[in-house]
Structure 1
Amino acid sequence: MKLACAEVHHHQELAIVTEGGVYAADGSMADILRRGDEGLQELKAQVREAEEGRRQPLEQYRLLPPVPEPGKIICVGLNYRPHVAEGHFEIPTHPVLFNKYVSSLVGDGATVRAPGDSEQLDYEAELVIVMGRRAQNVSEQDALNYVFGYTNGNDLSARDLQFRTPQWLLGKAADGLAPIGPYIVTADEVPNPDHLEIRGYRNGQLVQHSNTDQMIFSCRFLISYISRYITLEPGDLLFTGTPEGVIMGQDPAARKWLSPGETLTVAVEGLGELTTHIG
């Protein structure tokens, strides 16, 4: 099942995305995340009972982040070996973690501006995990049982702010630097998140292409590892890292940082396409 959050007549509504179109559903994303399988079964019943006349093309909706208010947004850096190499870092022995905030989130089709005085805005196509159950010290074997679904993410990064100090936070968590969407694909439709094609496009040109099977730390491991130290709750988001092809990885003389008027697209296999405009 594909679930989105949309603005309809200035109100936020839960939307079910089907092959025949999109329509508003009863309840909220927060409620569905809290109720888990029971909530999903009710939504499936709504799909079966829906009248064709209620459905609208996806393009008619203003899409919001599919999880509008997650409790936590935890991101993983340096999780693909080629990306580590292009950035001239060392292969990490433990996941490199940092965070973003709710104010960082924007949905599909949003326009994002470089923060403050930054002049080095970069893209990072990523798979994002949406947690569906409270996870505390879970095993790697059981980790995926705690997942609600998956979505596309773009870990936009202001590189000059990111490396201004040893802490990455400023260049990663500024307003608008966490586009996600366009919707969540529930976990039952993604049997193996550790084997998904991932692509990133800049103005229609392919700039990133890899597979999540190239991650240093798998989805299962990341959930298990993080839950040892930080309790994960339904709706929490995990950005799992980006493959090679970012601007920072290019020769300094060839780097062309993102500028107003550009368009970015992230396409993880089976999860639709997330589009972001640079303003």
Structure 2
Amino acid sequence: MKLASFKHKGQSSYGIVDGAIIRDIGAAMGARAPTLKDLLASEGLDDANLAAASPPPLPLSEIDFEPVVPNPGKILCVGINYATHIAEAGLPTPEKPMIFVRYPDSQVGHKQPMICPRESSQFDFEGELAVIIGKRGRRIPTSEAFDHVAGYSCYNDGSIRDWQFHTTQFTPGKTFPGTGGFGPWLVTTDEIPDPATLSIETRLNGAMMQKAPISDLVFNVPQLIAYCSAFTILNPGDVIITGTTGGVGAFRNPQVWLKPGDTIEVDISSVGVLSNTIVAEPDD
């Protein structure tokens, strides 16, 4: 099942994607689960299937995609988690996951513009697998980690590189408004029992920039869930962004920076293609 958050005629909702249509189950759920995050918290995915039969479908061409989870309580990002990225950055393999955070207003949905901020021209791409939590947990063992996953999506952890490296703390370069793409939808775990079987590719204006199997992660999805749930409670709707592979613009020769007019795509097998155009931040 594919679940997406969207806006239609100015109203935010969420629904089940089926080919070229989406069924507005947010409208059917009403106050019981007004957002996808609420649906996950209610463990209502079975209800979602039932509700999908009642509302009339909407063509995908008539909606505006929002971030898969527009209002996550936490966005936990993992740095330096593919061997190829470690090599291009000239860094040692970390002994523990390197964690930093994003804020909800730093992300946009599928087909929505990612924004080059006025403060920098060093806007870089990072195609990543996103893990969406579906069941609350603390100190989750790796053997039970998949039980806490609602599904998977694509993420572009757009990075303002000079701000990222002002100090050893990455967060300032990762949270500029509208710099991260999240979508197009969540694919539930019944369709993807093990994300290690997937592969990821990032394309800039149609040219392949990044490509790797998800199995190349240094710390895999169960390990990341176990580690993160040791220091924080993972709640439904929380997102773990698992890291990017080699090929980012900062470590190319010459360097490649995103610029207005570009189209950047993150393509994960069995999940879908997240596509965003790049625009300049408008003047106030």
Same fold (TM over 0.5): yes
The whole-number CA distance in structure 1 between the counterparts of 2:189 and 2:231 is 24
The whole-number CA distance in structure 2 between the counterparts of 1:42 and 1:227 is 27
Q: After TM superposition, which residue ranges in structure 1, 4 or more long, deviate above 4 angstroms?
A: none
Residue range with higher mean Cα deviation, 210-219 or 16-25:
16-25
Question: What corresponds to 1:237 in structure 2?
Answer: 239
Question: What corresponds to 1:273 in structure 2?
Answer: 273
- Per-residue CA distance 1:113-161 (angstroms, 9 max, x = gap): 2224111110000000000111100101101100111110000001111
Residues 115-154 of structure 1 correspond to what in structure 2 (within 5 A)? 115-154=117-156
Question: What corresponds to 1:42 in structure 2?
Answer: 47
The whole-number CA distance in structure 1 between the counterparts of 2:115 and 2:88 is 25
- Per-residue CA distance 1:190-235 (angstroms, 9 max, x = gap): 1111221101010011111101100000000000011111111110
The whole-number CA distance in structure 1 between the counterparts of 2:222 and 2:37 is 24
The whole-number CA distance in structure 2 between the counterparts of 1:83 and 1:166 is 17
Question: What corresponds to 2:23 in structure 1?
Answer: 23
Residues 33-182 of structure 1 correspond to what in structure 2 (within 5 A)? 33-36=40-43, 39-47=44-52, 49-50=53-54, 54-182=56-184
CA contact (8 A) 2:23 2:57 kept: yes
The whole-number CA distance in structure 2 between the counterparts of 1:215 and 1:194 is 8
Structure 2: which amino acid aligns with 1:35? S
User: SS state of the match for residue 56, structure 1?
Assistant: strand
Task: Extract unaligned runs of 5+ from structure 2.
Answer: 30-34, 280-284
Structure 2: which amino acid aligns with 1:245? G
User: SS state of the match for residue 58, structure 2?
Assistant: coil
Residue range with higher mean Cα deviation, 153-162 or 105-114:
105-114
Task: For residue 177 of structure 1, report the CA deviation from its aligned partner.
Answer: 2.2
- Per-residue CA distance 1:68-87 (angstroms, 9 max, x = gap): 10000000000000111011
Q: TM-score, normalised by structure 2?
A: 0.92
Residues 151-230 of structure 1 correspond to what in structure 2 (within 5 A)? 151-230=153-232
Cα 1:215–1:59 change in 2 (3 A) is same
CA contact (8 A) 2:135 2:235 kept: yes
- Per-residue CA distance 1:69-107 (angstroms, 9 max, x = gap): 000000000000011101111111110000000111210
The whole-number CA distance in structure 2 between the counterparts of 1:20 and 1:198 is 23
Task: For residue 50 of structure 1, report the CA deviation from its aligned partner.
Answer: 4.6
The whole-number CA distance in structure 1 between the counterparts of 2:51 and 2:249 is 44
User: SS state of the match for residue 48, structure 2?
Assistant: helix
Q: TM-score, normalised by structure 1?
A: 0.94
- Per-residue CA distance 1:237-257 (angstroms, 9 max, x = gap): 000001111111212xx1131
The whole-number CA distance in structure 2 between the counterparts of 1:278 and 1:93 is 35
Structure 2: which amino acid aligns with 1:209? K
CA contact (8 A) 1:20 1:55 kept: no
Residue range with higher mean Cα deviation, 214-223 or 104-113:
104-113
The whole-number CA distance in structure 1 between the counterparts of 2:204 and 2:40 is 33
CA contact (8 A) 1:83 1:249 kept: no
Structure 2: which amino acid aligns with 1:32? L
Across the aligned residues of Structure 1 and Structure 2, the Cα RMSD in angstroms comes to 1.3
The whole-number CA distance in structure 2 between the counterparts of 1:5 and 1:33 is 13
Structure 1: which amino acid aligns with 2:195? P
Residue range with higher mean Cα deviation, 239-248 or 106-115:
106-115
